[in-house]
Amino acid sequence: MASLGFACLLLALGVCAYGIGASLYGVRSGRVEFSESGRRAVYALAAILTVAFAVLELAFLRSDFAFNTVADTSSRTTPGFYKAAAVWSSQEGSLLLWAWLLSLWSSLALFLTRKRMRDVAAYATAVLLGFGGFFVGLMIFYANPFATTHPAPAEGVGLDPLLRFPTMMIHPPMLYSGYTLCTIPFAFGVGALLARRVDADWIKAIRRFAFAAWLFLGVGILLGARWSYSELGWGGYWGWDAVENASLMPWLTGTAFLHSLMIQEKRGMLKVWNVSLVLATGTLAVMGTFLVRSGVLNSIHAFGGATLGVPFVTLIGILIAGSIYLVVSRRDMLRSEHRLDSLLSRESMFIANNLVLVGLCFVIFWGTYFPLISEALTGQESSVGPPWFDRYTVPLALVLVLLSGIGPVIAWRRATLANARRNFLAPLGAAATALVVLLAVGVDRKPFALAMFCCAAFVLGSVAQEFVRGTRVRRAIADESAPRALLALVRRNRRRYGGYVVHVGMAVLFIGVAASSSFQHASEPSLSPGQSTRVGAYTVRYVRPTASVTPQYDRAHTGSTLALGAEVDVTKNGRHVATLQPSEGFYASQDPTQGTVGSLIGGQPVSHVSMDGGVTRDVWSAIAPNIEAPALQRIIRAGNANLTGEATLVALGYLARVYLKSSPTAQFHFIVSPLVMWIWIGGLIVFGGGLIAVWPVPSTARRRVAARARARAERALARA
Amino acid sequence: MNVVVFVLILALLAIVVAIVSAPLRRRPAVPEHDEQVPQAPLAADLAAAREAKYQEIRDAELDYRTGKLSREDYEAVDAGLRAEAIEILDRIERAEAEAGRSA
């Protein structure tokens, strides 16, 4: 079947080349049938890559180790649940996932725009097929997912234990969906510039895809943060890691675009800015993929090799140079149709929000690529850490949250000071109340956290006011009950109120971030059974050791051959709070020099975090058991010398028994973090708000509303 | 490569060729002004601008009703928006008339 997969790749490359040629010929010559044929090439690409992906997925599920990719990233002991996800843990598989998702999303975009903007869509088709051809080319020439070895090895290396976590099943597809969706507005932006049609129509056509890209990327980032918190054993959810930053940057520019595009839709302004944001977002998405896949920067999340650097840098260079050329050469057509009516208007707030978002993106870009920049300039690689990022991003985040509260209470076009004063009363009241309450409970040692809580209260107050007033207006017009009026209000103004819900979610998320990062208590004690330690207001006691052997008994179901851990009792003021069971999983290695028993547990050990989560705080625990203890090492050495085959498991069983009996001192990591759960709840609210905003308006309702507005405008026309 | 795989590859190739070449195998190309052709660029742009303007009128009304605009400001903004909407409607009418003449 590997030859079928590789034939699919060759066919896909041919289809990309043909589609690019047909689309460009069609749009340049006016031969619509060629443009149409080019569009269909994208559908064909999706079909071919679906077959290719199915071939590789089947190889993983069947543990067909003749496929090098399967042998390198899966094994018979890898749980079936993770075998399916192991496809995208490899360099080759993730490139195939990228290309496949790109082809699917591109097909959807081109299908939905098939009856409009034929010239723009034809150029966009060529660009999208260019991206597709690039990734298919990488697979054919650099990282072939269908490369085989004969005879096939009897067993595979196994999936990286760090990736054996449920959200890893969906984190990469979500993130890659976000990245690939970012290329759709990019392609249409390039198409609009090439076709010289930078009007309202192309913005309208890509709006939904820009929103979808933002949504998928956001969910992917949040799932990655959750994985980091629950799996990596350091207790944090964001470490300003290069790969984390790479996914955040296009999300920030995408967020800026979603705001500024409204100004172009309404006022015909910011055309240069908007098209630049679209092009930057698409380029940053490719750069994000480059960072994960090239291994050019050190990252816990970088799973690629160093072979893809040159092709990626070439592509990124083309994207940047091409984007600059197109914007500069079309600058005459990108002139604004109007000017700002007033500095006190929603447009001004959106522009301010855009500047902060792009500022944030620039800071993160500089910090992320600083190692490369410093190496290029000085010959020495140096990097910046979380404190550097915090110094610049925290104040900018504060301003951003504040603006997300100001925007909703200010009118489009113009607002008077008198109205502004009246509209700011409730939000300012909410912020002032929060300030008084927080000072009363003693939250005054962390000024940035205090400021963030007040800004978030301001946002919640402003959005609540908007919902209350909107519902009241709706009730007055339609004489409906409050819940019905609220529903009707949101249904008729999805983008506006969906956006407000997103603002609420972001405020909630930032409350969680500020509280958990400012008021966290952490402790890393060495404890023996029976000993206890204090972590904040909690007492944690090492009750007894725990151990399990063979994958069947692995508590975390990750396929570890041995798991050593502890049962920990958590109390507060003498009252039982929770029982935690952190452990560390030991996995088999392929290194025969470790011996018959040593190789069973000689792979990368991975922490199995145990925590008690709640709406007010999380008690988080991890353990590093001392596998190097002399009593345990003696058993491994004896087993290596005397046991082979299945008998080696007896040595592991004995090792577990000795661990339970002699219980060497273990190194623990305890964290008590307030309000962490609100980060995930905030994320869910953002996701819900995004869905409301992106959900298509039923066509009948749209026609009715449009007809009413048309009738009003026509009445005015009659009066004129 | 076994025979089954070879046949599968040929079948896939045939399907791809059929999908991609379908528009080229149809009868003569559809002329630009034909009704099957999507909206002309100018008309599509004006239609998008009209919809955006209607949305802006509705937004201004909601801003006024929720107390974000004073009555005077609302009347001024609304009048301006309606004038802009009328201008777009005029342009649509002219574009339609022109399209009718050229047809």
Q: Which two tokens stand for residue A674?
A: 């307030």
Dihedral over Cα of A387, A393, A398, A401: its sign: negative
Kindly state whether residue A376 falls inside one of the protein's structural domains: no
Per-domain residue ranges of chain B? 3-102
In a domain, A552, yes or no: yes
Q: Quickly count: other Cβ atoms within 10 Å of residue A627's Cβ.
A: 17
Residue range B55-80, pLDDT digits in tens: 888 888 888 888 888 888 888 888 98
Inform me whether the C-beta atom of residue A709 falls under 8 Å from chain B C-beta atoms: yes
pLDDT of residue A432: 96
| Residue A390 CB coordination number (10 Å) | 14
Termini Cα distance of chain B: 58
pLDDT at A701 over 60: no
Judging by beta carbons within 10 Å of its beta carbon (0-12, 13-18, 19+), is residue A241 exposed, middle or buried?
buried
Same domain (yes/no): A306, A436: no
CB distance A411–B12 less than 8 Å? no
Q: Does A711 contact B at CB distance below 8 Å?
A: no
In this prediction, residue A297 carries a pLDDT of 63
Please return the burial class of A443, using the count of CB atoms within 10 Å of its CB with bins 0-12, 13-18 and 19+: middle
What is chain A's mean pLDDT, rounded? 88
Q: In the structure encoding, which two tokens stand for residue A100, read together?
A: 């496949």
Asked if residue B1 has pLDDT above 70, the reply is no
Q: Each residue of A431-460: pLDDT tens digit?
A: 999 999 999 988 878 899 999 999 999 999
Tell me the shortest Cα–Cα distance from A699 to chain B, in angstroms: 13
Q: How many domains does chain A divide into?
A: 4
Which residue segment(s) compose the domain that A407 sits in? Answer: 401-519+679-719
Most confident of A94-98, A370-374, A706-710: A94-98
Nearest to B67 among A18, A414, A422 (CB): A422
Residues of B in contact with A43 (CB under 8 A): 19
pLDDT value for A213: 95
Which backbone phi and psi does B58 adopt, to 5 degrees? -65, -40
The predicted pLDDT at position B27 comes to: 62
A with B: how many residue pairs have Cβ under 8 Å apart? 164
Task: Determine contact: A717 vs chain B, CB below 8 A.
Answer: yes
Neighbour count for residue B88 (Cβ, 10 Å):
20
Give tens-digit pLDDT for B25-64: 876 555 544 444 455 666 777 888 888 888 888 888 888 8
Measured over the CA atoms of residue A236, residue A241, residue A244 and residue A249, the dihedral's sign is: positive
Summarize pLDDT for A535-574 with one digit per residue, the tens: 999 999 999 999 988 755 555 667 788 899 999 999 999 9
Q: Using CB atoms and an 8 Å cut-off, which of residues 461-490 of chain A contact chain B?
A: 466, 469-470, 473
Contacts of A415 in chain B (CB under 8 A): 68-69, 73
Pair A627, A539 in one domain? yes
Checking phi first, is residue A240 left (phi over 0); if not, alpha (psi -120 to 50) or beta? left
Question: Taking the alpha carbons of B4, B6, B12, B17 in that order, is the dihedral positive or negative?
Answer: negative
Q: Which residues on chain B are in Cβ contact (under 8 Å) with A115?
A: 38-39
Q: How far apart are CA A279 and CA A281, in angstroms?
A: 5
Is any Cβ of chain B less than 8 angstroms from the Cβ of A342? no
**C-alpha–C-alpha distance, residues A683 and A689, integer Å:** 10
Identify the band that residue B103 occupies on the pLDDT scale cut at 50, 70 and 90.
low
Among A253, A376, A357, CA closest to A313: A376
* Interface contact A266, partner B, CB < 8 A: yes
Please tell me the predicted confidence (pLDDT) of residue A28. Answer: 92
Q: Does residue A388 belong to any structural domain of this protein?
A: no
Distance from CA of B41 to the nearest CA of A (A): 7
Cβ neighbours of A114 in B, within 8 Å = 38
E strand or H helix that includes residue A610? strand A610-612
Does residue A262 or residue A577 have the better pLDDT? A577
In the stretch 138-177 of chain A, residues with CB closer than 8 A to chain B read none
Name the residue among A40, A118, A469 with its Cβ closest to that of B23. Answer: A40
pLDDT at position A80 is 80
A185 contact partners, CB below 8 Å, separation of at least 6: A206, A209, A210, A213, A257, A278, A281, A282
Inside any domain, residue A694: yes
Span A590-628, pLDDT tens digits: 788 888 888 888 888 888 899 999 999 999 999 999 888
Residues A154 and A172 in one domain: no
Residue type at position A216: F
What gap in Å lies between CA A127 and CA A20, rounded to an integer?
8
Residues of chain B positioned with their CB less than 8 A from the CB of A48: 12, 16
The verdict on A232 and A267 lying in the same domain is: yes
Percentage of chain A beyond pLDDT 90 is 58
Average pLDDT over residues A647-668: 89
Q: Is residue A348 part of a domain?
A: no
Average of per-residue pLDDT across A65-70: 92
Q: Identify whether A382 is part of a domain.
A: no
Residue B36's pLDDT is what? 43
Same domain? A67 vs A151: yes
Q: Could you tell me how many residues make up chain A?
A: 720
Backbone Cα Rg of chain B: 26
Helix or strand (DSSP H, E) at A546: strand A538-549
pLDDT of residue A492: 87
| Ramachandran area for residue A64 (φ above 0: left; ψ -120 to 50: alpha; else beta) | beta
> ipTM of this model?
0.74
**Per-residue model confidence as pLDDT tens digits over A300-345:** 555 555 577 788 889 999 999 999 999 999 988 887 777 777 778 8
Kindly state the tokens that stand for A130. Answer: 């260019």
For A146-191, write each residue's pLDDT tens digit: 999 888 888 888 888 878 878 777 888 999 999 999 999 999 999 9
* Residues on chain B touching A47 (C-beta within 8 angstroms): 12, 15-16, 19
Chain A residues 198-227 within an 8 A CB cutoff of chain B: 199-201, 203-204
